[in-house]
Every structure is written in structure tokens, then in C-alpha cells.
């Protein structure tokens, strides 16, 4: 496949998914929206992956490119009907672009947690071989508060009711981060907004210790990312 990746911060990249895609021979084209790079013509791509970022979906005045990004996502899934994978902000942008609502949470959800698959999630091909509960990595202060019409909730956590969703046959959003790698925590701690949410959630000591909590779990997180991508590709074959 030829994959278009939309990034909103250089350290919020596809992480371990880059290795998975490279092994499968996929071509990855990255657009750094926060750096002013334009979204290319969509027709030349087979999959759209939209990553996370410190901005919120409604901050269009501060980040005018959000308007073009939402329009591109809407066209991609509604008109072109091609495979979509959104992670964290990319999950929220999918909901917003299709008419759902994203809102701030009472408290950020940061660190290692467990998500529970819904009945629909347990039956969805994306989560085949996973669950009914999955240990995942979280780092977000907003959530999908109202699903767009036609969207199916696939997973939830104690803090957030929509940890994963599907719209149509092949547009998926994941609130959690399956893609994290060895440098993720250190890279993200340097982002002021992320550090603030980390300290608010875990306290200063917990914030400093997060990498130590995450590191032994990285093999499991990589295995989950691999399985999700394998399932995603298998589902595309079935719906083609």
C-alpha cells in the first residue's frame, strides 16, 4: 500500500508501525501539518493514517490547517471510502470530521491502563486475537463525547467511553497509543502540554517514573501494534 501519514508534531509519528509497514513493503509518505506542509492529492494513496498532537480539534484559529485536515478526512472516508487509521488526535479528528463531538475530560488519562472491548469490538476483525481486555498506553486530555452518526464504539476504559470506534467498513479510530517505542516517553515529556497533563495525572514522582513503567511493557505493546496492523490488512482484503 501507499500510506499517507498526517503528523501534527514531529515526535508523534507512527512509531513501531513504521517498522511493521516497512517489513510489509508499504510506502509511507509523511506530511508535517504543523510545519506548514500541504496535504497532497488524496487519490494517489491507499491508506490514510492520522497521528496524535498537543492541539485540540477545535483550535482552528491557532492551527488553521485543521480545517483542511478535517475536510480531507471527511472526503477520504465519506467520498473515497478508503482505509483510515486515526490515533489519539487522529481518532478525535475522525469523529469531529464526521459530525461527532470531542470534549475535554475531567482529568487527563495518561500512562498504562486497560481497555475493555465492547460486544461490537469483540466481534470486529480489528481486534481478532486480542481482548476482551488489552493493556495499552494512554496520553490524552480530550475524548470523543458524542459519536458521529453510524459510528460503532469498539472499546472503552474507566476514564473514557470511546477508546476505539469504527465508521463504515474500514475507518478506525484509536484513542490509545499502540505505536509507542523506546523514545516515546522521553520525547513527549519535553512537550509542555504533555508534561503538564502527565504531572496532573501521576504527580511529579509518577511523571518521572513513567519510562520505567513503560519500558518492560514495550514488547507487549509492539505485539499489539503488529496484531492490529495484521488484522487491519486482513479486514481490508475481506471488504475489498
Per-residue pLDDT of 45-97, as tens digits, reads 999 999 999 999 999 999 999 999 999 999 999 999 999 999 999 999 999 99
CA atoms of 9 and 123, how far apart (whole Å): 34
CA atoms of 135 and 185, how far apart (whole Å): 17
- When pLDDT is cut at 50, 70 and 90, the band that residue 131 belongs to is confident
What 3-state DSSP class applies to 232? helix
To the query of whether residue 179 is one of the catalytic residues in this protein, the response is yes
At residue 201, the pLDDT reads 92
Q: What is the pLDDT of residues 85-122, one digit of tens each?
A: 999 999 999 999 999 999 999 999 999 999 999 999 99
Q: What is the pLDDT of residues 140-153, one digit of tens each?
A: 999 999 999 999 99
Edge-first strand order for the sheet with 84-87 is 27-32, 2-7, 47-50, 84-87, 171-174, 164-167, 151-156, 101-117, 133-146
User: Does 25 score more than 90 pLDDT?
Assistant: yes
Which residues are registered as beta bridge partners of 27?
A: 2
To the query of whether residue 233 is one of the catalytic residues in this protein, the response is no
CA atoms of 90 and 204, how far apart (whole Å): 28
CA atoms of 146 and 206, how far apart (whole Å): 31
Predicted TM-score (pTM) of the model is 0.97
Q: Which of 8, 12, 69, 88 is catalytic?
A: 88
Tell me: cis bond preceding 231? Omega within 30 of 0 counts.
no
Say how many residues make up the chain.
240
User: Does 238 score more than 80 pLDDT?
Assistant: no
CA atoms of 161 and 41, how far apart (whole Å): 34
Report DSSP state, residue 233.
Answer: H
Q: Which residue has the cell 513503567?
A: 213
Q: Which of 12, 96, 109, 179 is catalytic?
A: 179
At residue 157, the pLDDT reads 97
Nearest to 160 by CA among 227, 102, 199: 102
| Mean of all residue pLDDT scores within the chain | 96
To the query of whether residue 13 is one of the catalytic residues in this protein, the response is no
Amino acid at each position: 500500500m501507499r500510506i499517507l501519514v498526517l503528523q501534527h508534531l514531529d515526535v508523534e509519528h507512527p512509531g513501531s508501525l513504521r517498522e511493521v509497514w516497512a517489513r510489509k513493503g508499504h510506502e509511507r509518505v509523511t506530511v508535517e501539518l504543523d510545519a506548514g506542509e500541504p496535504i497532497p492529492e488524496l487519490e494517489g494513496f491507499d491508506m490514510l493514517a492520522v497521528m496524535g498532537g498537543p492541539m485540540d480539534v477545535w483550535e482552528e484559529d491557532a492551527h488553521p490547517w485543521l480545517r483542511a485536515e478535517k475536510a480531507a478526512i471527511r472526503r477520504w472516508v465519506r467520498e473515497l471510502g478508503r482505509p483510515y487509521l486515526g490515533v489519539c488526535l487522529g481518532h478525535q479528528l475522525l469523529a469531529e470530521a464526521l459530525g461527532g463531538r470531542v470534549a475535554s475530560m475531567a482529568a487527563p488519562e495518561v500512562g498504562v491502563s486497560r481497555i475493555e472491548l465492547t460486544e461490537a469490538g469483540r466481534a470486529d476483525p480489528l481486534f481478532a486475537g486480542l481482548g476482551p481486555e488489552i493493556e495499552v498506553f494512554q496520553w490524552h486530555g480530550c475524548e470523543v463525547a458524542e459519536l458521529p452518526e453510524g459510528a460503532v464504539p469498539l472499546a472503552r476504559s474507566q476514564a473514557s467511553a470511546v477508546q476505539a470506534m469504527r465508521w463504515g467498513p474500514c475507518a478506525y479510530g484509536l484513542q490509545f497509543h499502540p505505536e509507542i517505542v523506546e523514545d516515546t516517553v522521553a520525547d513527549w515529556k519535553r512537550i509542555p502540554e504533555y508534561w503538564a497533563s502527565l504531572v496532573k495525572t501521576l504527580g511529579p514522582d509518577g511523571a518521572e517514573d513513567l519510562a520505567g513503567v513503560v519500558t518492560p511493557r514495550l514488547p507487549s505493546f509492539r505485539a499489539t501494534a503488529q496484531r492490529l496492523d495484521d488484522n487491519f490488512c486482513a479486514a481490508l482484503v475481506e471488504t475489498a
